[in-house]
Amino acid sequence: MRWDYLGNSIVDDVVWKAAHSMSLVSRTQGRVLGSMGQLIGGIGEFGSVAARFLLRLDQFIATQIIFRQLCRHRYTMLNRDRHRFIAERVYGDRRIPDPRQRYLDYWFETPHDSPRQPPRDVAVVGLHNSWTPHWYSSLSEDEVLAHDCLLSRTLREALSTPSAN
């Protein structure tokens, strides 16, 4: 298993399955919207757009309404602002309006001699795996730990691994 295996697909799967298993309404809604999507998806470009809309509507109902209401006694979603686990949002350069660019700047464009330090006052650090540069995610574990960027320094500190430099 690669070091960067854990991603949104695991969380999405848990939310989706929990929401659909908890409610007859959700299961019925999923079947109805799914059948409608298949039916209209085959009638050209408009049908394809409408089918994607129905899928997104089904996902919204399942995750934002049913999951948050019926599953809240079993699962919770951390509030990113209250729990401060999106480090670049809390500590990053607020002059950068684009969240993806702020993520890249904070974690990957921070030189080793920067005064920026790994976040220490949070128990969980949320990363955007799909935003992580390909050059970084293709590094070996040893190369990641030897790199100078802030994410590598944070990982070294979390693992109590001394710097390779």
pLDDT of 27-81, one tens digit each?
A: 566 666 666 666 666 666 666 677 677 777 777 776 666 666 666 666 666 677 7
pLDDT of 122-155, one tens digit each?
A: 777 888 878 999 999 999 999 999 998 999 988 8
Question: What one-character-per-residue DSSP string does 53-68 give?
Answer: HHHHHHHHIIIIIIIH
The per-residue b/e assignment along 139-153, b for 16 or more CB within 10 angstroms, e otherwise, is beeeebbebebbbbb
The pTM assigned to this predicted structure is 0.57
